[in-house]
């Protein structure tokens, strides 16, 4: 926590993402993008941080992000993803989906392609709330309840949902999972014709709107969601339609949940209540102590799994033995701030953006 | 807008100005003017990107200040308050540095002035140092704000021949005027080494400079002891002056005169002092270092008079500083409010002073005290900004009298373009139990969703507001759709209502009716029939639907298993069916075929029931 840098950036940050590093490169990410919201003119900015030979006078500034380039964005930036090293894609509150290209040496940023009014009602445009890509496919979702796949033959599922879809994630190359404002997860398979979801999962009890979803990087059936009441749910998409576990995480809406891409025993969540939590579960047979009781088939499998390491077939998140618990949660931000809207983690670096118009960077996350 | 009469309307932070057709003489002009409304913004500062950092960082400090424990007595909290004051100042300085690197030159001078005033208030009011320490703090204050001395010194010392630099003696005198004896001696020694002949007088000066007593607050020496020592030293300097020890070197003589506290000599170096308050502090340093806080105002006034020379009227900054030296906090705040175009400074400073219990709480006409008034004004100004309104919420929270009312009124007027923004505003309202606002925001969002035909969204908004009336409206829409098209839309919603179904009767009916259809589709006729029966007896079905329900009941009654299952309650079933039928027939115009079918079915049913009932089991 000592190594966290805060920088005030004069714009409320709605999304922030690390720029992907080359697969062959061994160094930590040094570049990240931010999107703003609620400004008269919103912007997408690229920032650089760290060892790339920036002229800094004292050690204090070494962790300070420097603005590399920026570009205007129409409407609030409601979602932002990197397509690859050079391009990023944003979802806008005007209903547009835009691709930006970063030019040589991160010197400038410009619009490469716009799909205007992808999301709309009959007469007005609707905000596009989420966009996700798994090169070369891009899928976007919006408040109009549409799920759109951008390809040569652009395929859209109209009226996919009668309520607002808040977030989307790829499960497999042809399947996406969406979450909506009546607390349902819906699985869509693009190979199938028709406009019906392949599967619907939800909690019984109060239908709490779900705001974010993320898939386990190694095991495609494990998904984590966060909702309006700040509860973190882990789901197994193959097993029935109930969440595997429910954990009280935050006291207000959870805006983003991320599994660590290379070390999935670690999970990060951020929330409207101004906190950013780092969840760490031990691998092997230890389990979170407050898991609900599970069916025995899972338990027997876990008994057979080799102890230790991420190589175990069963992810630590789904272990069923509830007698021993080891789930550690740490607050990553030094003090309460305004809402933390977004976070991203890559390697040992964590970046997050808040409504207090500040960006926090931690380059020594213990993973 | 020339030669036009304009009308205007006040907003929260700006004025709307528009052209009118009004003319003083003659008929109003028939010529159409430009149909535009101009927005005149009072406060451009909050739109400056660099100053926004000031607002955000100071918000963080403000919230931290409010949360300081109340149980400690004020005396023990003084170091905390001083450090908070320093935090505020460092935020101002950080902004200043950034502005200097950029192009915002105009704001820099205002920020400099603000920091100067704040620093002085910190020294005099918050730290409230007693005599002895007071002067030390004032010296620090002056040194911080006259930084060009170091630059000049560097320039001189790095030149090829420092002693021949034209600014050499200016640097020495500047150091002396600021009480920086060691640095003065370091520079002076260069001259001494060059002129071995004059070494004695340089050594004399060096010893005088070195021997000047400085009060050490942490030491064992009391103020009186220090005063005695200082007087001795002062007399020694005076003696050197009287017997012309430095007569051969006019520069050294000047320095000695300064050491003695000769005001005229100091005034000869006005350009080195720069400001009257520097003059004040130098004067005090060499004339009365044990000055008491209560004596300050006399010296301040006279310094200003002597320095400013009646040439120009005192600037606002000068009168503010003078008021501070007179310990008239209210005057300081009042003058700052008038001079600055933004409430940031006075709001935060007054709040801090209030926490130090330095403000007498006299109530203003508006029913709140000074601190609250200023914080409210500042926060209201923030709300007029499209983005900084979120900061204002915390400020309103800490205004006990009117904060809540202001917040309620302001939150209702925040434009809600996206669902995410509405959710954030709702969270703010819910955390403060502002139920009226929750309901009204949810209703706005629900109506918007409904007009865009997003029934699911509309329903989820009504559920959040627990708005039964709106939920009923939405259910009506669904049912109307069903009647029109013969099938349900948005099945994913209706099938998965869960406990939300209980929000309104109509909604419950909708859910149950859909369930009935599902059961029928799955050929679970018995359960379907039971459900239908409960729907009719519970009386939650709307009148318009009774016909449909009865028609739906028809095929069920034909099913054998239904008849057998409901054996016992057959009579009650028939009776209720007949009852409803009777009511229907009386009121409405129904197709004759349907009517016939119904009558037939009911008659048959009754007949069978009577027979079955009448049969005695063996």
Burial of B473 (0-12, 13-18, 19+ CB in 10 A): middle
Rounded to an integer, what distance in angstroms lies between the CA atom of residue B525 and that of residue B562?
7
Q: Which residues of A touch B423 (CB under 8 A)?
A: 228, 253, 272
Structural domain span for residue A125: 4-52+62-300+315-362
The per-residue pLDDT for A288 is 40
Give the closest-approach CA distance of B380 to chain A in angstroms.
18
Q: Is A310 a domain residue? A: no
Q: What is the mean pLDDT of residues A48-73?
A: 69
Contact between B56 and A356 under an 8 Å Cβ cutoff? The reply is yes
State pLDDT tens for residues B453-509. Answer: 888 888 888 888 888 888 898 888 888 888 777 777 777 777 777 777 888 888 888
pLDDT above 90: residue A344: yes
Q: Is A309 a domain residue? A: no
Q: Do B532 and B510 lie in a common domain?
A: no
Partner-chain residue, chosen from B49, B454, B500, that has the shortest CB–CB distance to A162: B454
Q: What is the mean pLDDT of residues A337-366?
A: 91
Query: Are A180 and B463 in contact (CB < 8 Å)?
Result: no
Mutate to test the interface with B, among A11, A55, A130, A162 (most CBs of B within 10 A): A162
Query: Are B496 and A40 in contact (CB < 8 Å)?
Result: no
Q: What angle do CA A212, A216, A220 make, to 5 degrees?
A: 110
Burial B354-384 (b: 16+ CB within 10 A, else e): bbbebbeeeeeeeebbbbbbbbbebbbbbbb
For the ranges B193-197, B297-301, B488-492, B551-555, the maximum mean pLDDT occurs at B297-301
Percent of the residues in chain B that have a pLDDT greater than 90, as a whole number: 27
Q: Do B529 and B516 lie in a common domain?
A: no
Rounded to an integer, what distance in angstroms lies between the CA atom of residue B430 and that of residue B464?
10
3-state SS assignment for residue A173: coil
DSSP state of B520: H
Q: Is A323 a domain residue? A: yes
Q: Among residues B17, B105, B94, which one has the least CA distance to residue B52?
A: B94
Rounded to an integer, what distance in angstroms lies between the CA atom of residue B207 and that of residue A68?
56
Q: Do B572 and B558 lie in a common domain?
A: yes
Query: How far is CA A32 from each of CA A45, A213, A341, A348, B560, rounded to the nearest angstrom?
Result: 8, 21, 15, 14, 70
Given B239, B274, B291, the domain boundary residue is: B291
Q: Among residues A352, A357, A367, which one has the least CA distance to residue A5?
A: A352
3-state SS assignment for residue A356: coil
State pLDDT tens for residues B59-80. Answer: 999 998 988 866 666 567 888 8
Contact between A28 and A363 under an 8 Å Cβ cutoff? The reply is yes
State pLDDT tens for residues B121-134. Answer: 999 999 888 888 99
Give the H/E segment covering residue B391.
Answer: helix B389-397
B523 pLDDT tier (thresholds 50, 70, 90)? confident
The per-residue pLDDT for B602 is 67
B103 pLDDT tier (thresholds 50, 70, 90)? low
Q: Which residues of B touch A78 (CB under 8 A)?
A: 418, 420
Q: What is the mean pLDDT of residues B246-262?
A: 88
B311 pLDDT tier (thresholds 50, 70, 90)? low
The per-residue pLDDT for A152 is 59
Question: Residue B48: CB partners within 8 Å, gap ≥ 6?
Answer: B104, B107
Q: Do B485 and B613 lie in a common domain?
A: no
Q: Do B164 and B282 lie in a common domain?
A: yes
Tell whether A358 lies on the interface with B, counting CB pairs under 8 A.
Answer: yes
Q: Find the DSSP H helices in chain A.
A: 296-304
Q: What is the mean pLDDT of residues B297-315?
A: 83
A136: preceding bond cis by omega (within 30 degrees): yes
Q: Is B353 a domain residue? A: no
Q: Is B105 a domain residue? A: no
Give the closest-approach CA distance of A350 to chain B in angstroms.
22
> What tokens does B73 get?
């007595």
Query: How far is CA B181 from each of CA B171, B244, B448, B562, rounded to the nearest angstrom?
Result: 12, 22, 73, 109
Rounded to an integer, what distance in angstroms lies between the CA atom of residue B280 and that of residue B161?
33
Q: Among residues A60, A72, A84, which one has the least CA distance to residue A35?
A: A72
Query: Radius of gyration of chain B from Cα atoms?
Result: 42
Give the global pTM. 0.83
Put simply, the chain A residues between 275 and 334 with a CB less than 8 A from any chain B CB are: none
> What are B37's strand-pairing partners?
B18
The per-residue pLDDT for A325 is 45
pLDDT above 90: residue A172: no
Q: Is A308 a domain residue? A: no
> What tokens does B69 get?
């424990």
The per-residue pLDDT for A25 is 73
Q: Do B270 and B179 lie in a common domain?
A: yes
- Strands A175-180, A147-150: pairing is unpaired
A324 pLDDT tier (thresholds 50, 70, 90)? very low
* Phi/psi at A280 (5° precision): -130, 125
Mutate to test the interface with B, among A8, A77, A333 (most CBs of B within 10 A): A8
Interface pTM, i.e. ipTM: 0.85
Q: What is the mean pLDDT of residues A269-291?
A: 70
The per-residue pLDDT for B3 is 66
Q: Is B53 a domain residue? A: no
Give the closest-approach CA distance of B452 to chain A in angstroms.
6
Q: What is the mean pLDDT of residues B367-386?
A: 86
Mean pLDDT of chain B: 82
Q: Is B341 a domain residue? A: no
The per-residue pLDDT for B314 is 76
B591 pLDDT tier (thresholds 50, 70, 90)? low
B27 pLDDT tier (thresholds 50, 70, 90)? low
DSSP state of B207: H
Q: Which residues of B touch A39 (CB under 8 A)?
A: 386-387
Q: What is the mean pLDDT of residues B539-548?
A: 72
Mean pLDDT of chain A: 81
> What tokens does B529 get?
């029939």
Q: Do B169 and B271 lie in a common domain?
A: yes
A132 pLDDT tier (thresholds 50, 70, 90)? very high
Contact between B297 and B325 under an 8 Å Cβ cutoff? The reply is yes
Rounded to an integer, what distance in angstroms lies between the CA atom of residue A32 and that of residue B301?
56
Size of interface A-B (CB pairs under 8 A): 133
pLDDT above 60: residue A292: no
State pLDDT tens for residues A84-129. Answer: 888 999 999 999 999 999 987 778 899 998 998 889 988 889 999 9
Can you tell me which residue has the tokens 């059936």? Answer: A221
Rounded to an integer, what distance in angstroms lies between the CA atom of residue A235 and that of residue A222?
6
Q: Find the DSSP H helices in B37-122.
A: 49-66, 74-101, 105-121
Given B245, B262, B291, the domain boundary residue is: B291
B431 pLDDT tier (thresholds 50, 70, 90)? very high
For the ranges A301-315, B343-357, B589-603, the maximum mean pLDDT occurs at B343-357
Tell whether B87 lies on the interface with A, counting CB pairs under 8 A.
Answer: no
Q: Is B530 a domain residue? A: yes
Contact between A176 and A137 under an 8 Å Cβ cutoff? The reply is no
Query: Are B386 and A38 in contact (CB < 8 Å)?
Result: yes
pLDDT above 70: residue B28: no
Rounded to an integer, what distance in angstroms lies between the CA atom of residue B457 and that of residue A54?
48
Q: Which residues of A touch B56 (CB under 8 A)?
A: 8, 10, 356-358
Q: How many helices (H) and strands (E) does chain B have?
A: 31, 3
Q: Is B468 a domain residue? A: yes
Contact between A194 and A221 under an 8 Å Cβ cutoff? The reply is no
Rounded to an integer, what distance in angstroms lies between the CA atom of residue A129 and that of residue B419?
9
Count of domains forming chain B = 4
Rounded to an integer, what distance in angstroms lies between the CA atom of residue A41 and that of residue A54?
29
Q: Which residues of A touch B454 (CB under 8 A)?
A: 121, 143-145, 162-164
Q: Do B530 and B610 lie in a common domain?
A: yes
Q: Is A350 a domain residue? A: yes
State pLDDT tens for residues B265-290. Answer: 888 888 888 889 999 999 999 999 99
Q: Which residues of A touch B395 (CB under 8 A)?
A: none
The per-residue pLDDT for B595 is 65
Q: Do B166 and B285 lie in a common domain?
A: yes
Tell whether B453 lies on the interface with A, counting CB pairs under 8 A.
Answer: yes
Partner-chain residue, chosen from B52, B63, B492, that has the shortest CB–CB distance to A10: B52
Rounded to an integer, what distance in angstroms lies between the CA atom of residue B608 and that of residue B571?
10
Q: What is the mean pLDDT of residues B32-58?
A: 77
Give the closest-approach CA distance of A247 to chain B in angstroms.
21
Q: Among residues B105, B184, B98, B109, which one has the least CA distance to residue B145?
A: B109
The per-residue pLDDT for B227 is 92
Q: What is the mean pLDDT of residues B340-369?
A: 81
Contact between B260 and B286 under an 8 Å Cβ cutoff? The reply is yes
Q: Do B280 and B155 lie in a common domain?
A: yes
> What tokens does B567 get?
């054996």
**What spatial distance separates the first Cα and last Cα of chain A, rounded to whole Å?**
13
Can you tell me which residue has the tokens 């010392």? Answer: B157
The per-residue pLDDT for A287 is 39
Tell whether B49 lies on the interface with A, counting CB pairs under 8 A.
Answer: yes
CA B290 to chain centre: 42
**Which of A111-115, A192-196, A310-314, B11-15 shows the lowest per-residue confidence on average (mean pLDDT)?**
A310-314
Q: Which residues of A touch B456 (CB under 8 A)?
A: 145, 161-164, 180-182
The per-residue pLDDT for B349 is 94
Q: Among residues A164, A314, A161, A147, which one has the least CA distance to residue A239?
A: A314
Tell whether A256 lies on the interface with B, counting CB pairs under 8 A.
Answer: no
Sheet of A254-259, strand order? A254-259, A266-271, A276-281, A327-331
Rounded to an integer, what distance in angstroms lies between the CA atom of residue B396 and that of residue B61?
15
Q: Is B57 a domain residue? A: no
Give the H/E segment covering residue A345.
Answer: strand A340-346
Tell whether A357 lies on the interface with B, counting CB pairs under 8 A.
Answer: yes
Q: Which residues of A touch B453 (CB under 8 A)?
A: 121-122
Put simply, the chain B residues between 369 and 388 with a CB less than 8 A from any chain A CB are: 386-387
Q: Which residues of B touch A229 (CB under 8 A)?
A: none
Q: Is A186 a domain residue? A: yes
Look at chain B and count its residues: 618
A190 pLDDT tier (thresholds 50, 70, 90)? confident
- In chain A, % helix, strand, coil (3-state, to 5) comes to 5, 45, 50
| CATH code (residue A20) | 2.130.10.10
Q: Do B510 and B590 lie in a common domain?
A: no
Q: Is B358 a domain residue? A: no
CA B203 to chain centre: 59
A285 pLDDT tier (thresholds 50, 70, 90)? very low
State pLDDT tens for residues B179-227. Answer: 999 989 988 888 888 888 888 888 888 898 999 998 888 888 888 999 9
> What tokens does B465 get?
């507001």
Question: Residue A306: CB partners within 8 Å, gap ≥ 6?
Answer: A284, A312
Give the closest-approach CA distance of B494 to chain A in angstroms.
10
Query: Are A182 and B454 in contact (CB < 8 Å)?
Result: no
pLDDT above 80: residue B555: no
For the ranges A319-328, B512-521, B537-546, the maximum mean pLDDT occurs at B512-521
pLDDT above 70: residue A302: no
Query: Are B418 and A143 in contact (CB < 8 Å)?
Result: yes
Query: Are A228 and B423 in contact (CB < 8 Å)?
Result: yes
DSSP state of A273: T
> What are A180's strand-pairing partners?
A165
Burial B119-128 (b: 16+ CB within 10 A, else e): bbbbbbbbbb
> What tokens does A142 get?
């919006």
Structural domain span for residue B18: 6-45
Q: Is A195 a domain residue? A: yes
Count of domains forming chain A = 1
Query: Are A129 and B420 in contact (CB < 8 Å)?
Result: yes
Look at chain A and count its residues: 367
Q: Which residues of B touch A252 (CB under 8 A)?
A: 427, 431
Partner-chain residue, chosen from A37, A163, A357, that has the shortest CB–CB distance to B460: A163
Question: Residue B150: CB partners within 8 Å, gap ≥ 6?
Answer: none
pLDDT above 80: residue B161: yes
Contact between B119 and B89 under an 8 Å Cβ cutoff? The reply is yes
Query: Are A181 and B497 in contact (CB < 8 Å)?
Result: no
Contact between B347 and B378 under an 8 Å Cβ cutoff? The reply is yes
The per-residue pLDDT for A318 is 65
Write out the DSSP string of B117-165: HHHHHIIIIIS---TTHHHHHHHHHHHHT-THHHHHHHHHHHSS-GGGS
Q: What is the mean pLDDT of residues B379-400?
A: 90
Q: Among residues A170, A165, A136, A164, which one has the least CA distance to residue A150?
A: A136
**Which of A32-36, A75-79, B367-371, B472-476 shows the lowest per-residue confidence on average (mean pLDDT)?**
B367-371
Give the closest-approach CA distance of B454 to chain A in angstroms.
6
Give the closest-approach CA distance of A230 to chain B in angstroms.
12
Q: Do B469 and B600 lie in a common domain?
A: no
The per-residue pLDDT for B582 is 61
Query: Are B456 and A186 in contact (CB < 8 Å)?
Result: no
Put simply, the chain A residues between 55 and 84 with a CB less than 8 A from any chain B CB are: 76, 78
The per-residue pLDDT for A322 is 38
Q: Is A16 a domain residue? A: yes
Q: Which residues of B touch A355 (CB under 8 A)?
A: 390, 424
């Amino acid at each position: 926590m000592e190594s966290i840098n805060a920088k005030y950036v004069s714009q409320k940050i709605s999304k922030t993402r690390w720029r992907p590093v080359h697969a062959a490169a061994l160094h930590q990410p040094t570049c990240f993008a931010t999107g703003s919201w609620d400004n008269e003119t919103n912007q997408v900015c690229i920032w650089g941080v760290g060892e790339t030979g920036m002229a800094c006078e004292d050690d204090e500034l070494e962790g300070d992000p420097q603005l590399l380039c920026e570009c205007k964005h129409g409407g609030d930036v409601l979602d932002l993803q990197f397509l690859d090293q050079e391009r990023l894609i944003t979802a806008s509150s005007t209903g547009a989906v835009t691709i930006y290209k970063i030019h040589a040496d991160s010197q400038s940023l410009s619009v490469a392609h716009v799909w205007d009014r992808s999301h709309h009602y009959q007469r007005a445009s609707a905000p596009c709330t989420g966009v996700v890509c798994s090169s070369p496919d891009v899928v976007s979702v919006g408040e109009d309840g549409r799920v759109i796949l951008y390809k040569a033959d652009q395929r859209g599922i109209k009226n996919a949902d009668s309520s607002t879809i808040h977030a989307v994630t790829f499960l497999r190359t042809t399947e996406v999972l969406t979450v909506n404002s009546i607390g349902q997860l819906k699985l869509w398979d693009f190979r199938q014709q028709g406009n019906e979801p392949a599967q619907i999962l939800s909690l019984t009890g109060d239908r709490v709107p779900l705001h974010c979803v993320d898939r386990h990087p190694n095991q495609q059936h494990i998904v984590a969601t966060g909702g309006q009441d700040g509860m973190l749910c882990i789901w197994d998409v193959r097993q029935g339609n109930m969440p595997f576990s429910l954990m009280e995480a935050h006291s207000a809406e959870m805006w983003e949940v991320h599994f660590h891409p290379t070390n999935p025993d670690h999970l990060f969540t951020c929330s409207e209540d101004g906190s950013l939590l780092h969840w760490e579960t031990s691998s092997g047979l230890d389990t979170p102590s407050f898991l609900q009781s599970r069916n025995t088939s899972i338990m027997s499998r876990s008994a057979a799994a080799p102890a230790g390491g991420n190589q175990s077939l069963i992810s630590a998140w789904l272990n069923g033995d509830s007698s021993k618990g080891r789930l550690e949660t740490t607050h990553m931000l030094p003090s309460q701030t305004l809402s933390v809207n977004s976070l991203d983690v890559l390697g040992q670096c964590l970046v997050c953006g808040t409504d207090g118009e500040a960006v926090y960077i931690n380059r020594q996350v213990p993973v | 807008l020339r030669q036009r009469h304009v009308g205007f309307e006040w907003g929260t932070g700006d004025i709307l100005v528009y052209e009118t057709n009004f003319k003083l003489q003659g008929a109003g002009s028939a010529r159409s003017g430009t149909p535009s409304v101009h927005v005149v913004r009072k406060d451009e500062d909050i739109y400056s990107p660099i100053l926004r950092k000031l607002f955000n960082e100071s918000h963080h400090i403000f919230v931290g200040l409010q949360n300081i424990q109340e149980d400690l007595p004020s005396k023990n909290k003084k170091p905390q308050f001083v450090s908070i004051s320093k935090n505020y100042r460092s935020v101002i300085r950080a902004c200043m540095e950034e502005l200097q690197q950029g192009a915002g030159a105009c704001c820099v001078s205002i920020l400099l002035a603000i920091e100067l005033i704040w620093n002085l208030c910190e020294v005099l009011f918050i730290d409230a140092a007693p005599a002895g320490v007071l002067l030390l703090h004032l010296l620090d204050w002056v040194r911080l704000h006259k930084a060009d001395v170091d630059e000049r010194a560097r320039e001189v010392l790095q030149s090829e021949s420092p002693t021949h630099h034209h600014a050499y003696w200016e640097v020495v005198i500047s150091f002396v005027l600021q009480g920086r004896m060691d640095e003065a001696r370091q520079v002076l020694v260069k001259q001494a080494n060059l002129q071995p002949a004059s070494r004695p007088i340089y050594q004399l000066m060096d010893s005088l400079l070195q021997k000047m007593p400085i009060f050490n607050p942490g030491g064992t020496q009391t103020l009186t002891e220090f005063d005695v020592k200082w007087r001795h030293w002062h007399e020694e300097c005076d003696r050197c002056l009287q017997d012309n020890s430095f007569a051969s070197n006019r520069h050294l003589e000047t320095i000695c005169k300064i050491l003695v506290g000769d005001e005229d000599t100091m005034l000869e170096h006005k350009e080195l002092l720069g400001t009257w308050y520097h003059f004040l502090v130098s004067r005090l340093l060499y004339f009365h270092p044990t000055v008491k806080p209560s004596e300050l105002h006399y010296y301040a006034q006279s310094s200003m008079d002597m320095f400013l020379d009646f040439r120009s009227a005192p600037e606002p900054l000068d009168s503010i500083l003078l008021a501070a030296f007179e310990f008239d906090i209210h005057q300081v705040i009042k003058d700052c409010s008038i001079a600055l175009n933004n409430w940031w400074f006075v709001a935060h400073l007054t709040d801090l002073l209030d926490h130090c219990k330095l403000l007498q709480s006299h109530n203003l006409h508006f029913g709140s005290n000074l601190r609250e008034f200023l914080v409210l004004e500042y926060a209201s100004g923030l709300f007029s900004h499209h983005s900084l309104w979120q900061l204002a919420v915390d400020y309103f929270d800490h205004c006990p009298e009117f904060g809540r009312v202001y917040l309620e009124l302001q939150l209702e007027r925040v434009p809600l373009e996206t669902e995410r923004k509405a959710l954030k505003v709702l969270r703010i309202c819910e955390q403060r139990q502002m139920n009226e606002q929750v309901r009204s925001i949810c209703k706005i969002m629900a109506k918007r969703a409904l007009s865009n035909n997003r029934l699911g969204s509309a329903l989820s908004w009504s559920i959040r507001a627990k708005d039964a009336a709106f939920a009923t409206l939405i259910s009506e829409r669904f049912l109307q759709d069903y009647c029109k098209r013969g099938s349900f839309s948005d099945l994913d919603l209706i099938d998965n209502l869960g406990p939300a179904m209980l929000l309104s009767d109509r909604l419950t009916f909708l859910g149950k009716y859909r369930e009935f259809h599902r059961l029928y589709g799955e050929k679970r006729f018995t359960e379907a029939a039971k459900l239908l029966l409960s729907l009719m007896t519970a009386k939650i079905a709307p009148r318009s639907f009774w016909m449909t329900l009865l028609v739906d009941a028809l095929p069920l009654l034909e099913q054998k298993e239904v008849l057998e299952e409901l054996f016992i309650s057959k009579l009650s079933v028939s009776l209720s069916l007949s009852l409803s039928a009777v009511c229907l027939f009386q009121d409405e115009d129904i197709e004759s075929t349907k009517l016939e079918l119904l009558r037939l079915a009911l008659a048959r049913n009754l007949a069978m029931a009577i027979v079955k009932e009448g049969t005695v089991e063996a």
